[in-house]
């Protein structure tokens, strides 16, 4: 996660290479939450168990968590967009096997490394047999692959205990993580930070999530007095190249709600992302030798260029928008005189506005046809993914519980909206509402990437509190 100013960074566009969309993180707007009445109500749920809850959950085994994280980031799991295989790189099998073995050794149930490389496990409810049947199953998900934007080979993590503030010089290539371009550092003084040696990415995106979920599982096993319903664990592959949800099996997940631990910093809940379609515009012209083209040639390439030029540039473009504003983005153009083709991304947080964007393209094409006899356009719209808020509208408690859990830990939660897609959006659309939560990632997809161990600990404490709230709700 790239965090800057009040914007919080994020996530890889889930959507794949064929569309030309980039998988880089997008800046997203975050806003502090007011506290609706429901949340006040939720706050009171956990007060009765607060004493013992805090005495147990606050003692997360930091050293073991750190060792896990360091172990996982050293496995090269770079996703390969050019591969047809699933997972797209052999290291994802390797890490999956490690996680499978560790989960089995811990004594989790239904531990499986499936035919696609996904790792599944179940932590049974701590409630008695009768009650556990009525408690909702909650799924925690993280992805094992890392971004192809920077090398993930021979990652040599460096641990900086009690960060004193200021710029952080890395061991190699003269690289420096500087406060000016990463002001989030100002909030991390005293934290244990893990950086790279300057030659690779770290892979905290999303091995911070993987390590946190693994430590959560072991912590809950060691503290059977912490109340929770059934917990399902799922580690997915190839999220960074838009294939993370490809082999998600909803029936196998068997969960009422999910949370991806794949977010930046701390106390962010990302519950919105772009809705997305792709539009292919085909232009048909008429080719003839240019020497005798007068009055007879119809240039499809010129027609399509005019169409792109006629679109707004001061708004509705990636170059001119941020926060919650959507855009029409032409990202590919090819062709000749008789035929040309362009591809556009349509993006907005309000799904209906994709229709407006499509209409604008159609109207622009129609007017060009009017002024250029013989020119013809064909527009083909392809559905991509939807704002997870659409699917989560029927289950607002999934986000509310996570917000309440942050407040119970004394943190100020923020809601974020992702200018891209996420696996959670696909899970949500499939029927499993799945917002994304912070897990201490910073400067992702870069050799300047680092992670905060303290924020990973907070993510685990938060997950414990989320489960506590869920089991109280499930009893009613
Ligand atoms: Zn990620």
CA of 264 to the centre of ligand 1 (A): 9
CB atoms near residue 449 (< 10 Å): 27
- In a shared domain, residues 361 and 395: no
Do 383 and 429 form a contact (C-beta atoms < 8 A)? no
C-alpha atoms less than 13 angstroms from C-alpha of 141 in its C-beta half-sphere: 31
The number of residues in the chain equals 476
Distance CA(384)–CA(371), nearest Å, equals 33
- Give the end of a domain, one of 349, 384, 419: 384
- Same domain for 432 and 400: yes
Same domain flag for 365 and 269:
no
What token pair was written down for 236? 């997915």
Q: Where in the sequence numbering do the catalytic residues fall?
A: 145, 239
Q: Are residues 108 and 140 in the same domain?
A: yes
The first and second tokens of residue 357, run together, are 């964007």
What CATH number does residue 352 fall under?
3.30.70.360
- What's the CA-to-centroid distance between 363 and ligand 1, angstroms? 38
Which tokens in the block code for residue 97?
């096997």
* Tally of domains within the chain: 2
Q: Of 384, 411, 442, which residue sits at a domain end?
A: 384
For residue 206, report the distance from its CA to the centre of ligand 1, in Å: 5
Judged by DSSP in three states, 232 sits in: strand
Both 395 and 431 in a single domain?
yes
Structure tokens, 117: 């490389």
H or E element at residue 208: helix 204-222
* Residue 203 alpha carbon to ligand 1 centre in Å: 9
Check whether residue 169 and residue 280 sit in a common domain.
no
In a domain, 3, yes or no: no
Distance in angstroms (rounded) separating the CA atoms of residues 268 and 90: 32
Taking CA atoms, 251 is separated from 101, 248, 255, 427, in Å, by 24, 9, 8, 12
**C-alpha 11 to ligand 1 mean position (Å):** 6
Range of the domain at 239: 8-273+387-475
Q: Is the peptide bond before 87 cis (omega within 30 degrees of 0)?
A: yes
Could you tell me if residue 197 is inside a domain? Answer: yes
309 and 237 in a common domain: no
Sign of CA dihedral 95, 230, 44, 396: positive
Task: Please provide the distance, in angstroms rounded to a whole number, between the alpha carbons at the two ends of the chain.
Answer: 37
The answer to whether 141 touches 119, Cβ cutoff 8 Å, is: no
Q: Are 272 and 263 in contact (CB under 8 A)?
A: no
DSSP 15-41: S-GGGT---S--EE-EEEPP--HHHHH
> 185 and 257: one domain?
yes
Query: Would 85 be classed as within a structural domain?
Result: yes
Quote the pLDDT of residue 20. Answer: 32
Where do runs of H (alpha helix) occur along 223-277?
A: 250-253
Residue 49 is predicted with a pLDDT of: 38
3-state secondary structure of 203: coil
Cα(235) to centroid(ligand 1), Å: 12
State the pLDDT at residue 473: 85
106 vs 31: CA distance, rounded Å: 39
Q: Is the peptide bond before 206 cis (omega within 30 degrees of 0)?
A: yes
**C-alpha 240 – ligand 1 centre gap (Å):** 7
Q: Specify the CATH number for the domain of residue 95.
A: 3.40.630.10
Q: Are residues 32 and 118 in the same domain?
A: yes
Write out the residues surrounding ion ligand 1, Cβ under 5 A: 205-206, 262
Residues in a beta bridge with 280:
343, 380
Same domain, yes or no: 311 and 407 = no
What distance in angstroms lies between residue 260's CA and the mean position of ligand 1's atoms?
Answer: 9
- Placement of tokens 């040309």 in the chain: 340
Please indicate, yes or no, if residue 1 is contained in any of the structural domains: no
Cα 8 to middle of ligand 1, angstroms: 14
**Do the domain assignments include residue 174?**
yes
**What is the pLDDT at residue 162?**
97
Q: Say how many Å lie between the CA of residue 444 and the centre of ligand 1.
A: 8
Q: Is residue 2 part of a domain?
A: no
> Per-residue pLDDT for the chain (476 aa), expressed as one digit of tens each?
222 222 232 323 333 323 333 322 333 333 333 333 333 333 333 333 344 444 445 699 999 999 999 999 999 999 999 999 999 999 999 999 999 999 999 999 999 999 999 999 999 999 865 655 689 999 999 999 999 999 999 999 999 999 999 999 999 999 999 999 999 999 999 999 999 999 999 999 999 999 999 999 999 999 999 999 999 999 999 999 989 999 999 999 999 999 999 999 999 999 999 999 999 999 999 999 999 999 999 999 999 999 999 999 999 999 999 999 999 999 999 999 999 999 999 999 999 999 999 999 999 999 999 999 999 999 999 998 899 998 888 899 999 999 999 999 999 999 999 998 888 999 999 999 999 999 999 999 999 999 999 999 999 999 999 999 999 986 54
């Amino acid at each position: 996660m790239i965090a800057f100013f009040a914007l919080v960074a994020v996530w890889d566009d889930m959507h794949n290479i064929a569309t030309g969309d980039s998988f880089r993180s997008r800046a997203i707007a975050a806003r502090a939450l007011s506290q609706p009445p429901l949340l006040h109500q939720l706050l009171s749920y956990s007060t009765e168990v607060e004493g013992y809850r805090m005495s147990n959950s606050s003692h997360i085994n930091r050293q073991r968590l750190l060792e896990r994280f360091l172990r996982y980031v050293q496995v090269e799991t770079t996703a390969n967009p050019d591969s047809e295989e699933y997972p797209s790189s052999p290291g994802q099998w390797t890490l999956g096997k490690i996680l499978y073995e560790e989960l089995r050794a811990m004594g989790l149930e239904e531990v499986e490394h499936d035919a696609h490389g996904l790792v599944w496990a179940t932590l049974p409810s701590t409630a008695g047999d009768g009650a556990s049947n009525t408690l909702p199953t909650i799924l925690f998900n993280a992805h094992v692959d890392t971004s192809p934007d920077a090398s993930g080979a021979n990652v040599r993590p460096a641990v900086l205990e009690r960060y004193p503030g200021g710029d952080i010089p890395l061991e190699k290539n003269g690289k420096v993580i500087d406060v000016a371009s990463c002001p989030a550092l100002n909030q991390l003084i005293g934290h244990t930070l893990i950086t790279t040696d300057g030659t690779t990415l770290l892979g905290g995106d999303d091995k911070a999530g993987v390590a946190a979920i693994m430590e959560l599982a072991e912590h809950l096993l060691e503290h059977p007095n912490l109340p929770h319903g059934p917990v399902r664990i799922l580690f997915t592959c190839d999220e960074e190249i838009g294939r993370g949800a490809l082999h998600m099996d909803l029936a196998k997940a068997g969960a009422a709600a999910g949370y991806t631990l794949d977010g930046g910093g701390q106390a962010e809940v990302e519950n919105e992302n772009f809705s997305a379609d792709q539009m292919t515009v085909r232009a048909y012209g008429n080719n003839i030798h240019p020497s005798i083209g007068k009055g007879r040639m119809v240039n499809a390439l010129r027609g399509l260029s005019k169409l792109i030029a006629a679109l707004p540039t001061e708004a509705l473009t990636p170059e001119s928008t941020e926060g919650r504003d959507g855009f029409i983005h032409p990202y590919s153009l090819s062709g000749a005189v008789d035929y040309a083709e362009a591809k556009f991304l349509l993006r907005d947080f309000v799904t209906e506005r994709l229709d407006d964007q499509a209409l604008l393209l159609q109207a622009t094409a129609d007017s060009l046809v009017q002024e250029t006899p013989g020119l013809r356009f064909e527009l083909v719209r392809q559905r991509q993914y939807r704002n997870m808020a659409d699917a989560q509208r029927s289950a607002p408690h999934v986000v509310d519980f996570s917000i309440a859990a942050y407040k119970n830990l004394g943190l100020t939660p923020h809601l974020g909206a992702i200018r891209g897609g996420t696996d959670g959006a696909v899970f949500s659309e499939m029927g499993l509402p799945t917002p994304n939560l912070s897990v201490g990632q910073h400067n992702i997809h870069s050799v300047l990437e680092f992670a905060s161990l303290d924020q990973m600990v907070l993510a685990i404490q938060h997950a414990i509190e989320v489960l506590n709230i869920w089991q109280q709700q499930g009893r009613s």
